[in-house]
Amino acid sequence: MIKKYILALDQGTTSSRAVLFDNEFNVLGIEQSETTQIFPKPGWVEQDATEIRETQIFVARKLISRLGVDSKQINGIGITNQRETTILWDKKTGQPVYNAIVWQDKRTSDLCEQINKDDFSEYIRKSTGLVIDSYFSGTKVLWLLDNIKGLREKAEKGQILFGTVDTWLIWNLSGGRLHITDYSNASRTLLYSIHDKCWDKEILDYFNIPLQMMPEVVESSGTYGKTEKGIFGNSEVMLSGIAGDQQAALFGQTCFDEGDAKNTYGTGCFMLMNTGDKPFKSKSGLLTTIAWGLNGKITYALEGSVFIAGAAIQWLRDKLRLIESASDTEKIAFEVTDSAGVYFVPAFSGLGAPFWNMNARGIITGLTAGVDYRHIVRAALESMAFQTRDVLNAMQKDSGIEIGNLNVDGGASANNFLLQFQADILGVDVSRPEFVESTALGAGFLAAIGSGVCEIEDLKKFRKTDKVFHSNMSDSDRQGLCLGWTNAIDKARK
C-alpha cells in the first residue's frame, strides 16, 4: 500500500515552516526558514510578501524532497498563519502593491483612536467581536488604499485583491485560481460580521473599502482546490485546511468542545476558550472570535492574552542577570518551598485583560531579609500562572462556562514547576502534549478532515499526552495565594 501524508504549512511572524505527518499524525519531519522583519519607522512593521511566499514554498519542497515523498502521496495541505497581517496585490500580475503590513504594526493607532470616538465604533465592536485596534487588518487596508497613489481607483475596478497570509499563500499555490480565506482568519479583519457570517457591508462602506477586494470566506476544512502543477512537481495537491495560528493551536490541542481551553506560554500568553455555537460578548475586554467553521457549523471562542509571560524570565536573565538560561528557572523554583510572600507583577507595559490599565507598572512586593534570588525566580514563574488565572476567570465569567482542564503549549510549557503551579492555582488539570507544535498539528488535522482522511471524532487520540499536572493544593492555600496576588496587582495599578 502506498503511504499517504498530510502537509502543514505554518507561516509565522518570524519563520515559514513545513511539517509532514503520516496518517496517524506522527511527525515525519520539519523544515523551517526565517523571514525578515522590516522596521521602516518606529512602530511600523512590514515583511516582504514575496519572501513570505518563497520561503513557504521552499521549506515545503525541501521537506518533501528530504523525506523522499512524492507529492502524489500527500492527501491534503493545511495552511496556518500569522493572523491579521495584510497584503494587497494586483489580480493580473500577482505583484504585491506594498510590503505586507504585519499585525504588530502601529501606524494606524491614531486612526483607531479617531474611530473609537465615532458613534459607529460600537457597531464595529458588536459586529466583529473585536476591539478597535491597529492590530487588526481593516485599518491597514484603509491605510494602503489612502496612501498608495491610484490604488483605490484600481481597487474599485476590481483589479486589486486583499488577503491575510493564508489567502496570499493559497492564491499563489493555486496559480491565482483561489481567492479564499476561512472563518477564523476573516474574523480577525475588523471587516467581518461574526454573527451574520459575511463581510459587513456597513463597515466596508464606513472604511470605503470595495467589496470586490475581499476573498470568499470558506470553512476551515474542505476541498478548496488544488495546487498548480509545478509547485510540488507534476502532481496537483489538494488544499484542504485553513486556520489562523491561535485557532489552529486550539484545534491541534483537540479543544473541540464548549469549555475546552488552551494556553500558549511564550513571550506572552495566548489563551483561547471554545464557547461552542455562542459568540459571548466580553465585559472584560476579551475578544470574541470564530474558532473555526466545520460541517456547516461555526464554533466561537473567547480570546485573551497576557502581555508579559516568558518575557519576565528573559528580563531576569538579561537585565537582572539572576539566571543564565530560561530553563534554569525550573530547578531554582523547586529549591524553595514557596515564594516567601514575594509577588512579581511584570506589568512592564501596563496590565491587559481583565484590568486594562495601561499606566500600571511592574512591581516586586513582599521583600524581607530572608528573600533570596530563588524566591524572585519562583515569583516570576508564578506570575505567569496568576495572570493566566485572571484571564481564564474573565472568560468563565463572560461565558458562564467552567473550564474542565487546560491544554498547554509554547516554549515555557517545558517548565514543570510552572505547570504544576498552574494546575494548583486553577484547581484543574493542566495537560502538556508530546508534540508542542499545536499550530501545525491543528492545520494538519483540518487538512485531514478536509481531504476526507478522518472525521473530527477520530482526532483526539492523535494528541498524545506528555504529562498531566493535577492540582495538589488546598482551597485555603489557593485562596491565600490569590489574595496576595490581587493585593500586588492593586499596588501595581497605583
Residues binding ligand ADP (CB under 6 A): 266-267, 310-311, 313-314, 326-327, 329-330, 410-412, 414-415
Which residues 6+ apart lie within 8 Å of 485 measured at CB?
343, 386
Cα 224-142-210 angle, rounded to 5 deg: 55
Residue 439 CB, shortest distance to ligand ADP, in Å, is 10
Beta bridge partners of 71: none
Query: Which of 120, 334 has the CB closer to ligand ADP?
Result: 334
| Contact between residue 6 and residue 431 where contact means Cβ atoms under 8 Å apart | no
Query: Which of 35, 282 has the CB closer to ligand ADP?
Result: 35
Residue 416 CB, shortest distance to ligand ADP, in Å, is 9
Alpha-carbon distance of 275 to 394, in angstroms, equals 13
Query: Which of 70, 328 has the CB closer to ligand ADP?
Result: 328
Beta bridge partners of 348: 350
Query: Which of 311, 482 has the CB closer to ligand ADP?
Result: 311
Residue 15 CB, shortest distance to ligand ADP, in Å, is 10
What's the distance, Cα to Cα, between the start and end of the chain in Å? Answer: 67
Alpha-carbon distance of 320 to 493, in angstroms, equals 23
Dihedral sign of CA atoms 247, 404, 257, 75 in order:
positive
In this structure, the chain runs to a length of 494
Residue 173 CB, shortest distance to ligand ADP, in Å, is 25
Query: Which of 59, 385 has the CB closer to ligand ADP?
Result: 385
Residue 327 CB, shortest distance to ligand ADP, in Å, is 4
Cα 213-219-225 angle, rounded to 5 deg: 75
Query: Which of 30, 326 has the CB closer to ligand ADP?
Result: 326
Position 407, amino acid: N
Q: How far is CA 395 from the centre of its chain?
A: 17
Residue nearest to ligand ADP (CB): 411
Query: Which of 129, 352 has the CB closer to ligand ADP?
Result: 352
Residue 256 CB, shortest distance to ligand ADP, in Å, is 23
Residue 311 CB, shortest distance to ligand ADP, in Å, is 5
> Which helix (H) or strand (E) element contains residue 481?
helix 475-493
Position 386, amino acid: F
Which residues 6+ apart lie within 8 Å of 273 measured at CB?
255, 259, 260, 261, 301, 302, 303, 392, 395, 399, 401, 403
Query: Which of 277, 318 has the CB closer to ligand ADP?
Result: 318
Residue 415 CB, shortest distance to ligand ADP, in Å, is 4
